[in-house]
Structure 1
Amino acid sequence: MPIVRNSFIQMSKLTNLKGRINYISSHARQENLYAVYETTDRKFWTELAKCNQEEFKKSGTEGKCIEARELIIALPESFVDYEPDKLLKLFTEHFKQNYDVECIAALHHNKRKTNYHVHLIFSERKLLDDPVEKIATRNMFYDETGKHVRTKKEILDEAGQLRSGCKIIPKGEVYERNIFTIKDSRFKSDSFLDEVKRSYTDLINIYVRDDKEKLKVFDKNGVYLPMKKVGKNNPKAEQIETDNRVRTMWNQTVDRALVSGVPEGQILEVKQSEIGQKAKASIQKSGRNPALFKSLIMTAIYALELLISKVFKMALEKADKVTEGFAKSEPEQTKVRAVNEPVMAKSEPIPEMPKKSKLASKYLRLADIYNKLEKQNEAIYQREQQLASVEKEIAGTKGIFKGKQRKELQEQAEQLQSQIASMKQYLSNIVQGYGYKNVKEFLAEYRASKAEYNDYQSAVARWKQQTGNKAESDSLKAKLQRKQQEVKERENNRQSHYYRKDRGGR
């Protein structure tokens, strides 16, 4: 089973539109530039930048003016087989048809040719059919910042001369001319980027020739946290990598929780209450704080580990009760009665033996993988119990005479923590080795396969009852074929598991 990868599409704000257009479309500045496609002439972008700067000045807003927006769309490497000009036109016109705004796009490879991608710059405004002109009904006065003032005196210096940068527009002349509409607010919404991701992911999947290259959009409302893109020469690379390590820890804990049997709804509740809601409130109050976000994730991990521990304790208590019940009960002799096997009447046709569906045929192999997950999860839980015991001992070793003992215990605790971290990573890697993106994806197929396999077993039992025949059990040859298929899948996925790390658009 090929690993289904998430599409990569990011959006950024452009504060220097002219410079950015020059950068993405210049052969002198781009080593691997294959095509440039424009839906309008360059004069449009000059006028757009001017309009946005004027509107920004009038608003009095602090910060930088957003002159346009840009999408970077990562493409499968097999797309190099398509003609660059036609491919870029397809992707650019796709956006223009959907949103009816002007675009300019470029098709690149990065320096090492590991990342084939499109840069697509688009306008948030449209040209008006007829420009809107405002005529001055009296002399209009503007100060150095371009702000309109009421009297001429406000723009004169001490000598009564017009200050540098100030201007006067005489009565009867045009003081304001608008050729663009206001900015379309939908381009600022989170839903817009999600919509674009789904639209382009569907478009890419139409043109991929191999199912292994098919993409999907990451479900941000699911149980997992997305990894952040580092990119090339990113000044925040170290901060992003630290953030990604904490996100990975959460995702590994989610895998464990799912294997342990914690309901997906409970995991989502923890994610939303401990991470989503608190992070949103923090951003609104004091802006983005990476250290606080890390703290929120660690608290959520702890909450999830408590749920996992609760599930294990309940399972152990249940097992103890079952064992106790068996010990108390007396063995009874079961009377075996001879049962006459039903024989079909000669005149009745013998029904055909039920056949396994493709999904049911996978069950025994998937059950082996599931058993590996359960064993690994139990081993992690045992190590965690050992760590808790050692930490309890450390808390009890106080005083100067127990320094040596405390040091030994701390070293033991560090070793256990390292082992647990490696074991958690291995648990997530188990399913990835068989071509699944994560445990959730594996469990979905495993449960569906188990249901179909149980239906098949029931159908076989009914067939045996009707015919008196015995179904053929899995032969040694069939088991060997299943193992060979398992090894083949793992080898294929090892080759396809390397996902180009250098995915940053230049």
Structure 2
Amino acid sequence: MTRHSFIQMSKLSNVKGRINYITSHARQENLYATYQTADSAFWSALAKEAQIEFKRSNVEGKCIEARELIIALPEVYTRLNPQQVLESFTDEFRKRYNVECISALHHNKRKTNYHIHLIFSERRLLEHPEIKTASRNLFYSEQGKRVRTKKEVLDESGKLRNGCKIIKKGEVYEQHMFTVKDKQFKGEPFLQEVKTFYTDLINKEVADPEHKLKVFESESVYLPTKKIGKNNPRAAEIEADNAARQEWNRTADLALVSGIEEVKILAVKKEEIQERTSESIKQNGWFPKLFRSIVNKAKELLRDMIRTQQLPPKPVLSVDMDEYRVMQKLMIKVQNEAAAICRLQDVELSKLQSQLAETKGLFKGKERKALEQKIQQMEKTIAAKLNAIPTILQDDGYPDAEVFIAAFKKATEIVEQYRRDLSDWERKVKSNKAPKRQSPPPEKQSVRNRLRQLQAESKQRRTHNRHSQDIER
């Protein structure tokens, strides 16, 4: 199955606490390296100024002092020097965005998730700090708001009220060591850019093209799955959620190789999953079981489309082109697999389920149990065959069904255009309408070269973010 990079960004409301957590050997069981581009004083000053600015803004919510990226690394990175890996990834980010960073390289408890925590500042140090001094006495209320007169901050006995303050003439009342937050870090384009940037960086150490990571493309026919973080109390819920998403993804593969247009699958995904989920959240909030129900209904709708979709006839190629024949045989192979899956789902499994529903009575326990076991075995067989479709394509160099179907359609267009050109040439020759010095027929070699180029491009294609993943830590 195609592997996708995982890069997640989160907001930090306590940057000093988070730094202590990710860099402490006492708090991290598998901490391999730490690295920082600025000292502790920088992060303390950053947090202090962020809190002052937040209080001054008088808005609700939490103050965001910094941001954090979590970058999952493939297994090959465990063989590399941890300190060099961490410094390389951190320095590349600092060089690209000109902000200070602090980072750590971890494994999770089971050593199945090798990853980097990279904390970065959204502000930059000013070359010359801005310092403002009071030209007269300044008075501030309990809410930190500036008031006009001294009376407004005194109690009935003439003493300064708790929470109020007076800044005397000549004293510093405001100073800035940092710039304002860089707005680029808030936008989705930044995160997408970082995902692409780090995915390319990660892949430099992945030699096998088939094992290189991809960035998930949210506009594909597939649904993203989520990673389950350490000690996550919602682990069982996320696992069930991922199972529903994977079922949809396998059904989408089946639909593609069954001849259903990608645009139709995308329409089902948008209307039956994305829009219904959005409406459900607006009305009821987030309910995982409700989301899984929406996905399952959409999956069944897609299966109904597969049932009614007639597989296209096996194409007969009259032009001798080995490259197209290879693609053609592969198409027939996955279509046959799809047809076999549909037969098992719609005939064999349905038959067993009907038999189970009809087997009632006190003395039918053994018979029911036998049928239930057959149903379970049949479901496993179907699941294995569904998983086999992307494997068949990957064995031939295509990353997934979506890429192969697009390549096959393009190849078919090339071959059909060649046939039309050849037919037109033959018609002109037979009707004696061609000039005496007839142009030669279309060359098979040029078509063969175009097919080879198309195959190579398709097998090298790495679409962006197929199973966008979220992680909870």
**What range describes the TM-score normalised by the shorter chain of this pair?**
0.7 to 0.9
The 1:419/1:440 distance shift into structure 2, 3 A limit, reads farther
Q: Does 2:421 match 1:440?
A: no
What displacement does 1:14 show? 1.4
Specify the alignment match of 1:86 in structure 2.
Answer: 84
Q: Give 1:211's aligned amino acid.
A: P
What displacement does 1:8 show? 1.3
Specify the alignment match of 1:382 in structure 2.
Answer: 347
Q: d(CA) in 1 for partners of 2:261 and 2:377?
A: 27
The partner residue of 1:426 within 375, 384, 389 is 384
Q: Does 2:14 match 1:16?
A: yes
Is the 8 Å Cα contact of residues 115 and 505 (structure 1) preserved in structure 2? no
Specify the alignment match of 1:148 in structure 2.
Answer: 146
Deviations for 1:71-107, whole angstroms, at most 9, x for unmatched residues?
A: 1111122223332222212111111122221111112
The 1:299/1:373 distance shift into structure 2, 3 A limit, reads closer
What displacement does 1:457 show? 12
Q: Does 2:148 match 1:183?
A: no
Specify the alignment match of 2:112 in structure 1.
Answer: 114
Specify the alignment match of 2:62 in structure 1.
Answer: 64
Aligned residues with identical type, % of pairs: 49
Q: d(CA) in 2 for partners of 1:105 and 1:427?
A: 43
The partner residue of 1:54 within 27, 42, 52 is 52
The 1:505/1:43 distance shift into structure 2, 3 A limit, reads farther
What displacement does 1:238 show? 2.6
What displacement does 1:361 show? 4.7
Deviations for 1:210-265, whole angstroms, at most 9, x for unmatched residues?
A: 33431111111100101011111112223222322221232232123223322110
The 1:141/1:84 distance shift into structure 2, 3 A limit, reads same
The partner residue of 1:246 within 213, 220, 244 is 244
Specify the alignment match of 2:337 in structure 1.
Answer: 372
Specify the alignment match of 2:455 in structure 1.
Answer: none
Deviations for 1:446-490, whole angstroms, at most 9, x for unmatched residues?
A: 6678889999999xxxxxxxxxxxxxxxxxxxxxxxxxxxxxxxx
Q: d(CA) in 2 for partners of 1:170 and 1:363?
A: 85
Specify the alignment match of 1:225 in structure 2.
Answer: 223
Equivalent pairs counted in the alignment come to 418
Deviations for 1:414-469, whole angstroms, at most 9, x for unmatched residues?
A: 889867754552332112444736543554566678889999999xxxxxxxxxxx
What displacement does 1:183 show? 1.6
Specify the alignment match of 1:334 in structure 2.
Answer: none
Secondary structure of the 1:6 match is: coil
Deviations for 1:371-423, whole angstroms, at most 9, x for unmatched residues?
A: 223212233233576599899x99xxxxxxx999xx9xx99998898677545
The 1:290/1:64 distance shift into structure 2, 3 A limit, reads farther
TM-score normalised to structure 1 length: 0.70
Specify the alignment match of 1:157 in structure 2.
Answer: 155
Q: d(CA) in 2 for partners of 1:414 and 1:56?
A: 61
What displacement does 1:153 show? 3.5
Secondary structure of the 1:27 match is: coil
Is the 8 Å Cα contact of residues 259 and 374 (structure 1) preserved in structure 2? no
Secondary structure of the 2:347 match is: helix
Query: Which runs of structure 2 are paired with 1:283-298 in the superposition (5 Å)?
Result: 288-298=286-296
What displacement does 1:280 show? 4.0
What displacement does 1:69 show? 1.0
TM-score normalised to structure 2 length: 0.74
What displacement does 1:56 show? 1.9
The partner residue of 1:210 within 208, 220, 223 is 208
Secondary structure of the 2:68 match is: strand
Q: Give 2:101's aligned amino acid.
A: C
Is the 8 Å Cα contact of residues 8 and 73 (structure 1) preserved in structure 2? yes
The 1:233/1:253 distance shift into structure 2, 3 A limit, reads same
Secondary structure of the 2:204 match is: helix
The 1:413/1:186 distance shift into structure 2, 3 A limit, reads farther
What displacement does 1:45 show? 0.8
In structure 1, runs of 5+ residues without a counterpart are: 319-352, 395-401, 459-502
User: Greater CA deviation, 111-120 or 287-296?
Assistant: 287-296
Deviations for 1:186-205, whole angstroms, at most 9, x for unmatched residues?
A: 22222222211111111111
Specify the alignment match of 1:96 in structure 2.
Answer: 94
The 1:221/1:162 distance shift into structure 2, 3 A limit, reads same
Is the 8 Å Cα contact of residues 122 and 182 (structure 2) preserved in structure 1? yes
In structure 2, runs of 5+ residues without a counterpart are: 314-318, 421-469
Q: Give 2:347's aligned amino acid.
A: Q
What displacement does 1:50 show? 1.0
What displacement does 1:138 show? 3.4
Q: d(CA) in 1 for partners of 2:302 and 2:401?
A: 16
Q: d(CA) in 2 for partners of 1:191 and 1:414?
A: 50
* Larger of the two Rg values belongs to structure: 1
Is the 8 Å Cα contact of residues 125 and 183 (structure 1) preserved in structure 2? yes
Q: d(CA) in 2 for partners of 1:132 and 1:113?
A: 47
Secondary structure of the 1:371 match is: helix
What displacement does 1:58 show? 2.2
The 1:33/1:457 distance shift into structure 2, 3 A limit, reads farther
Q: Give 2:102's aligned amino acid.
A: I
Query: Which runs of structure 2 are paired with 1:326-341 in the superposition (5 Å)?
Result: none
Specify the alignment match of 2:428 in structure 1.
Answer: none
The partner residue of 2:307 within 306, 309, 333 is 309
User: Greater CA deviation, 231-240 or 419-428?
Assistant: 419-428
Specify the alignment match of 1:480 in structure 2.
Answer: none
Q: d(CA) in 1 for partners of 2:353 and 2:108?
A: 48
Specify the alignment match of 1:498 in structure 2.
Answer: none
